Structure 1
Amino acid sequence: MTRAWGATVLISIAALALAACAPTTTGADPTGSSTGDPSPSSTPSATEPAWTVAFDGDCDALLSPEQRETIVAPNMVERTELWEKYTQASQPASVQLPSPGAEGTAGGLRCKWGEDVGNDYEGQWLEVFVFPESLVEASVAGSYAEPTCEAAYGGSSCRLAATAGGAWVLVTMGPDAATTEAPASMTAVRDAVLENLAAAEPPVPATATDQWWPIVDCAALAEDMQLGEVLADYGTGRWEGAPSLEQTILENVGAEQYCEYVADDVANADWFRMSITTAPGGAWLWDRTAVLLPDTVDVEGAEDAVRLTVEGEDETTDVLAATDGTNLIWVTVDGLDVAPEVAARALGTLAASED
């Protein structure tokens, strides 16, 4: 039986109508209250500039609709718009958070678009990731000075990067359908983003506090939260695919971590797959996260929590998001409705890890 991963959470990010409500984050405090509307930070010192999300979290400022249409293809729209239009009705438990997401805590912005050709899987697609240069290892930053196509989950992708104004810009596109080589438009996309970047404030990461969760090894997290008491015979690791470059960067800088746990026995009637995504310092995302899931629930250790449970023909999908007022967590479980208990255990374990 083919199983669709129930909830795609792009906490690394891109926009519904909610994007218009994304807060301006220059000078804001990601460790403030969980209202999702960051309060102004104290005046930064000369050695501690204010937290600044690239392009103020606005994907149209990063690359305007006119630039996308002229350089890439007509009808280039946000990936979340394509998902809502063509896919979400058949996968109601799948949730996508608009940009910016957890990368914003580190000052970054990740924007995704696709060409609307009547579905959400054909046509050209484009992703641009802007991140503080100081947070990208030199070996990574210099890896894509020329267009480079490489194998990726489900096919291949082409990348091109550049550094300017304190920011690292990574452009990722699908290969040319006819030649399987890098699209000719990649260089023009990069140049347009760099031109727009010259008029924007340089990205600056938020300063971590003692209340931020650490990044914990996925196997160690499961053991510390005694996950085996909830999920019998689980294994740690991805069901399929591998972390993207962007995900790896976010984990390395402490902005986001994705852990996956799967039933050891795939043929077992109690088959399950579960993910825990944590965003240290990510409570500023809460307002835009909370509206994505319909039911308010109580979870031990959480200041606020929301949940969506979908009963499918073959299995249940249970999705929960919660915040402790400083950090953010997503739990998604395919096959079991145990997300609140898992979230409570994770919240307790991560809170203890702060000490």
Structure 2
Amino acid sequence: MDSAEICSIMAKQIRRYQPDAQIVQIPVADGGEGTVDAFLTAMGGKKVFLTVKGPYREDLCAFYGLVDSGRTAIIEMAACAGLPLVGDNKHAERTTTYGVGQLISHAAKSGCRKIVIGLGGSATNDGGTGAAAALGIRFLDGKGNSFVPVGGTLDQIRTIDASGLCPELNGVEMVAMCDIDNPLCGPQGASAVFGPQKGADEDTVKRLDQNLANLAEVIRKDLKKDITDLPGAGAAGGMGAGMVAFLGSRLQMGVETVLDTVRFDEIADGADFVISGEGRLDSQSLRGKVVIGVAKRTKKLGIPLIAVVGDIGDHIEPAYDMGVSAIFSINQVALDFSVLKNRSQSDLAKTMDNLMRFLSVL
């Protein structure tokens, strides 16, 4: 479910018990799926659709958003490099961000002077090299041959030639929204933390991590930038690092960008409750995803925050100290996600119904 659908389901259940309640629905995303819609809801604008390359270089129809009278483009890399696009065919060592570069190129050539990239929900682990290649940066192997790297071939890069970078990007402000602060490599890096959910087994994770380390070394040598320990460099399979190294982007927490844009603090002031959620609340969520981003603000405002989530991981107790008042999972039965996802809407509705029944007797 996207953010707008979740808001709608929640609001419907609230009105069953509190028909006169004032409900403000704010679709929020942190850089992953729904980021474009969140900005369009807040600012107005339109979607631009075009054919680009998908995770396995297949043609697919993707999109980006135009806001601020067409001067700013909002791109969510999940639109063409997202995990849902690969289904069960998960191979982090083979997927590419090439299509993301095509979206960036189209926006720049259309006259955008600011491009915001949402880094989240990716199926990739290529350090952003695919996107860079689509924008004219050349990656050369030991024999001087140019190729488009993927996660499994980053170790073959010996030289990076950035002289052919898309000229329309000159002077364009680049902002990368990332929902985590993980470094590029190591036990908290892109491969170790996120590789398994993208289909990487233990051996593949080690190889991907070593390959990203090689990329970082070549970037240091040829581009004179050190991105290894940069917070957020590990976002989206190292796309955070690539955005900084190849495009001079700045990294900032995605949820903060959206909440500022929609004037969340102003809207939420005086509310009785704020209800938020995400697919899974776990230890990674504590590093800055949607629920915690919202919780930090509701805590300052003195408003209870109720988190309604798809699943709850271990070791999430610190969330309560960070401003979350209560956490509820919508899981109603013990079934595999492949089955549960088909009943997500009804399970969310039932959970909200149960929550409202309780709040109504207080």
More strand by share: 1
Q: Highest Rg: 1 or 2?
A: 2
Whose RCO is larger (CA < 8 A, sep 6+)?
Answer: 1
More helix by share: 2
Q: Flag whether TM exceeds 0.5 (same fold).
A: no
TM-score normalised over the length of structure 2: 0.30
TM-score normalised over the length of structure 1: 0.31
